[in-house]
Amino acid sequence: MNDFLFGLTIALSVGPVALMIAHYGMRAGTATGVRAALGVAAADGCYAVVAFTIGALLAGTLASYLSVFRMVGAFVLLAMGARMLWQALHDRRRALDGSVPTPPADRPFMSMFFVTLANPLTILLFYGYATAAVGAHRHWLLGAAYVFAGSLAGQLVFAFGGSAIGRFVKSQRWLAASHVVAALVVLGYGVAGLMRA
């Protein structure tokens, strides 16, 4: 049960990943938001497998390369934020012209899977969890499954929330403006990550 709650806690921490899931749901609908949420939960599950199997061995190595992970994570967030901003500005132009923006045709599962793997917040959380999980008496696969389930439950909140906002807000101009704001926030997280690295 602690593993499920850990996964849920990770998911419900509102950060760039949660914002991107909501963005997918808002722009392309529930199914796309759910695929993005599955990508994040799968990455969290992979981190959990590592934490429960060889986490104790990797803890020292992770600590010594933490600044590198932060730098990589910041660049990934900057790239995703720039991509989101380009799409948002393109949508805004189309909304001002009176045409309906087309939903993104990219792969939400893979995009969010790799963004989560490179997210410095996730790396830091699992670094701490790896050291705490050493003495726990459970099968590693069961623990990872609970983390995955908890993470997915939390990520789905953002996917369904973003999708609901996309259906509720009928003005294409307001939606396009919200996409620009979301992209700027993700870029801000990336800049902040670079400054801390």
Mean pLDDT confidence for 98-108:
63
Separation CA 10–CA 22 (nearest Å)? 16
Specify whether the CB–CB gap between 107 and 184 falls below 8 A. no
Separation CA 40–CA 25 (nearest Å)? 14
Q: How confident is the model at residue 99 (pLDDT cuts 50, 70, 90)?
A: low
pLDDT at 156: 95
Separation CA 27–CA 184 (nearest Å)? 16
Q: Which residue has the tokens 């600590």?
A: 63
Separation CA 84–CA 69 (nearest Å)? 22
Which of the two residues, 160 and 84, has the higher pLDDT score? 160
> What's the pTM value of the predicted model, to 2 decimals?
0.79
Q: How confident is the model at residue 177 (pLDDT cuts 50, 70, 90)?
A: confident
Is 62 a residue whose pLDDT tops 90? no
Separation CA 121–CA 103 (nearest Å)? 29
Q: Choose among 88, 72, 65: nearest CA to 19.
A: 88
pLDDT at 157: 94
Quick: pLDDT tens for 17-47: 888 899 899 888 899 999 999 999 999 999 8
pLDDT at 149: 94
In this structure, what DSSP letter does residue 90 have?
H
Is 64 a residue whose pLDDT tops 70? yes
pLDDT at 178: 81
Mean pLDDT confidence for 4-16:
78
Residues with Cβ within 8 Å of 55's Cβ and at least 6 positions away in sequence, in order, are 126, 129, 130, 131, 133, 134
Complete DSSP assignment for 180-193 = HHHHHHHHHHHHHH
Quick: pLDDT tens for 135-170: 665 687 888 898 899 999 999 999 999 999 888 887
Q: Token pair for residue 156?
A: 């789905």
How many Cβ atoms from other residues are within 10 Å of residue 10's Cβ?
27
Separation CA 125–CA 62 (nearest Å)? 12
Q: How confident is the model at residue 101 (pLDDT cuts 50, 70, 90)?
A: low
Q: Choose among 127, 115, 151, 114: nearest CA to 16.
A: 115
Specify whether the CB–CB gap between 164 and 72 falls below 8 A. no
pLDDT at 102: 55
Q: Choose among 101, 36, 47, 92: nearest CA to 69.
A: 47
